[in-house]
Amino acid sequence: MRERIASACARSGRDPSSVKLVAVTKGRTPQQVRALLRAGQRDLAENRVQAWRALADEVADAVADEPLRWHLVGHLQRNKVRYCHGFELIHSLDSERLALALEAEGSRQGHVFRTLIQVNVSGEVSKYGVEPAQAEDLLGVVGGLEHVRVEGLMTMAPYHDDAERARPVFSSLRVLAERTELAELSMGMSGDLEVAVEEGATLVRVGTALFEP
């Protein structure tokens, strides 16, 4: 996987260290996750808070050198925000109401939540995320909050056999991030990560390609 990222970086004149590999562990066993940790992987992601709590408990003792960095990549319900201070980064901020719930929780716990705004670039009804035109409004709201910080944008491209079909989605997200002066771009999964890296991804979220070689 690191080689795939490195060659996409070489093609686009980027430094491989500017792309972080986030391993999506949803549906995997603790044994599978431990194997990944032995290979040196430290950034992990789950898409559901409940499943994350169970898995994080099971593998917590697996590494001693460096703490695990857990990311949340799935839709977050407001009644779960109290569990979320353990996440390094929440990739799925998708509403003002969620931002306000995180603010209230952060203020209670003295914690600042690091987030990315999830943008539904493709307009697929099955996808979470704000419309591109709403991202700046949400950014405006969060700008007034003390316990929520937006560091970038996240998107999921529609599934397609031909990864090139994802390119316009990824480049639109990059343009939006440039306009809003946000540094992080979470885009690219098992099937389309090269295209995402070529279009500027700083975080790629990979499950299948890591666990099912």
Ligand X SMILES: *Cc1c(COP(=O)(O)O)cnc(C)c1O
Three-class secondary structure of residue 112 per DSSP:
coil
> How far, in Å, CA of 208 to CA of 126, rounded?
20
Q: How far is the CB of 205 from ligand X (least distance, A)?
A: 4
When asked if residue 202 is in the footprint of ligand X (CB under 6 A), the reply is: no
CA nearest neighbour of 58 among 48, 68, 66: 68
CA nearest neighbour of 53 among 38, 70, 65: 70
> How far, in Å, CA of 25 to CA of 85, rounded?
19
Long-range contacts of 77-84 (CB under 8 A, 24+ apart): 77/49, 80/49, 80/50, 81/105, 83/49, 83/53, 84/49, 84/113
Three-class secondary structure of residue 119 per DSSP:
strand
When asked if residue 206 is in the footprint of ligand X (CB under 6 A), the reply is: yes
When asked if residue 127 is in the footprint of ligand X (CB under 6 A), the reply is: no
Q: How far is the CB of 207 from ligand X (least distance, A)?
A: 3
Instruction: Report the site for ligand X in 153-192 (rule: CB under 6 A).
Output: 156, 189-190
> How far, in Å, CA of 146 to CA of 193, rounded?
33
CA nearest neighbour of 73 among 59, 100, 101, 93: 93
Find the binder of ligand X among 25, 41, 47, 115 (CB under 6 A). 47
When asked if residue 207 is in the footprint of ligand X (CB under 6 A), the reply is: yes
Q: How far is the CB of 74 from ligand X (least distance, A)?
A: 6
Find the binder of ligand X among 9, 24, 99, 117 (CB under 6 A). 24
Residues in contact with ligand X, total (CB under 6 A)? Answer: 13
Q: Which stretch binds ligand X (CB under 6 A): 8-16, 93-101, 109-117, 201-209?
A: 201-209
**Mask 48-87, x = binds ligand X (CB under 6 A)?**
-------------------------xx-------------
Report the interface residues with ligand X, using CB under 6 A.
24, 26, 47, 73-74, 156, 189-190, 205-209
